[in-house]
Amino acid sequence: MTEPFDILISGGGMAGAMLAHQLLQRGSLKVAVVEQQADASPSKSSFDSRSIALSEGSIGLLKNWGLWPLLASYASPIKTITVSDQGHFGKTYLQSSDYQLDALGQVIEVEHIGAVLHQRLQPFEAQGRLVWFRPDAISAITPSLDLQQVQLKSGLSVSCRLLVIAEGGASPSRELAGFALQSDDYGQTALIANIGLQGPHQGKAFERFTPTGPLALLPLTQQRYSLVWTLAPERAAQLMQLNEADFLAELQKEGGYRAGVFQKAGARALYPLVLRRASEAARHRVVLLGNSLHNLHPIAGQGFNLALRDIYSLVLLVQRMQATQAKSFQLGDYAFTRAYQQLREPDMQQLILYTDALVRLFSNSSRLIAFGRNLGLSGLNNCSALKSQLAHFAMGLTPLRHIEQRLQQLGLAAPVRQSEGA
């Protein structure tokens, strides 16, 4: 294929498909997606479907992108969040009503997002503006001054003005493109499952810090919780071997009864927890996005929200490029990729520091540190100013404002967002 694509996205999962959708909504860009899975159509949702938590800021973005009206009926709102330290007195509470909001965030199964994106991308395929290469993967990347030359495992050779790598935490193309990776193993494993309740959860979410790490319960539709239980690898392996009744008994003992009575456990899965972050967000005519750029601990449930801000930043830069038509700011050139690096670095570093500090603070068995952190939790609950700052950070409102401020500092003012929630 001799005609270069404007943007080639490696990875057709949620982040890659979401980016493709947003790019194709604007102007006449020609976009291609390389995806290793043969079938991009989403699987049917079930009790065991995996889910993600979307912050209020992310909901605002999805509203502006025209996607939230198609997703809202599948989501469960987070009305309150209770944060506690197991065996200690410290607790704090966040309530949506304190900030004049219907919800602090929403929890939704990923299949519903995939189904909506799959449907919305089909017209662009029919128009020839979107090309899928699947099942396929990148085998070599050769940069030139104006293009990235990409060799695919199928034998095809394609070129693009900008290559976006959105493959996930174990991205092979990230290494092919020359990015260094920093990695820290937490020595923890996340046990993931959906849990059925005896009664309604009333939109309550819980994060309970235990000696092995946080135990999070996020409200799902159909009287279910999404469970993320951080454990020592040996303990996680033991829990995987238990039958459903014994597993629920262990979970009830660890989580208590404030979240309700657990009566069903779906399929369980284990994920080793490792903090990964690329040494840079962009190089010559290539940028990283989502888990290929930053793979965080799930302690604050912010991974996909951070990816959405990657997408938002990149789309804003494309919009500014199209609006200015300046020769000094073109798709994939140094000024463009440098601006992306400058937009993403502060947000990414702040969230990495925040989540990493939480992991280490609440996994520490020192009595002195335990006393101090519980004083902090209790004090936070009684200080409305500090609590408000934490809530706005958790809701993803502060990082979005910082992106727009940074754009202004770069001389690339952001367009006004329509949704107040964004």
Helices (H), 325-383: 334-362, 367-381
Phi and psi dihedrals of 142, rounded to 5? -125, 110
In CATH terms, 5-183+274-409 corresponds, of 3.40.50.970, 3.50.50.60, 3.40.50.460, 3.20.20.70, to: 3.50.50.60
Please tell me the least confidently modeled range out of 69-78, 144-153, 182-191. Answer: 182-191
- Tally Cβ neighbours within 10 Å of residue 32: 21
Residues 81-91: tens digit of each pLDDT: 888 776 554 56
Structural domain boundaries in the chain = 5-183+274-409
Q: For residue 381, what pLDDT band results from cuts at 50, 70 and 90?
A: low
Range 28-52 average pLDDT: 80
Residues 296-320: tens digit of each pLDDT: 777 666 889 999 999 999 999 998 8
How far is 157 from 141, CA to CA, in rounded Å?
10
Residue 213 has pLDDT above 50, yes or no: yes
Residue 155 has pLDDT above 50, yes or no: yes
Percent of the chain with pLDDT over 90: 59
Top-ranked range on mean pLDDT: pick from 34-43, 199-208, 322-331: 199-208
How far is 412 from 390, CA to CA, in rounded Å?
29
Residue 382 has pLDDT above 60, yes or no: no
How far is 396 from 394, CA to CA, in rounded Å?
5
Q: For residue 18, what pLDDT band results from cuts at 50, 70 and 90?
A: very high
Residue 165, CB-side half-sphere exposure with 13 Å CA sphere: 31
Range 185-214 average pLDDT: 90
Helices (H), 55-147: 56-64, 68-71, 110-127
Identify the bridge partners of residue 204 per DSSP, sorted by sequence position.
80
The rounded Cα 360 to chain-centroid distance in angstroms is 21
First to last CA, the chain: 40
Structure-token pair, residue 5: 């694509």
Structure-token pair, residue 270: 């284990």
Q: For residue 77, what pLDDT band results from cuts at 50, 70 and 90?
A: very high
C-alpha dist (Å) from residue 130 to 20, 23, 120: 8, 10, 12
- Whether 154 and 140 have beta carbons less than 8 Å apart is answered as no
3-state helix, strand, coil in the chain (%, to 5): 40, 30, 30
Residues 100-146: tens digit of each pLDDT: 889 989 999 999 999 999 999 999 999 999 999 999 999 999 999 99
Structure-token pair, residue 327: 């020769």
Range 56-73 average pLDDT: 95
How high does pLDDT run on average in the chain? 86
Residue 388 has pLDDT above 80, yes or no: no
The model's pTM is 0.89
For residues 355 and 258, the model is more confident at: 258
Structure-token pair, residue 256: 């208590």
- Whether 71 and 96 have beta carbons less than 8 Å apart is answered as no
How far is 365 from 134, CA to CA, in rounded Å?
49
Which residues, other chains included, contact 81 with Cβ-Cβ below 8 Å and sequence gap of 6+?
Answer: 93, 94, 104, 204, 205, 206, 207, 394
Q: For residue 295, what pLDDT band results from cuts at 50, 70 and 90?
A: confident
Residue 68 has pLDDT above 80, yes or no: yes
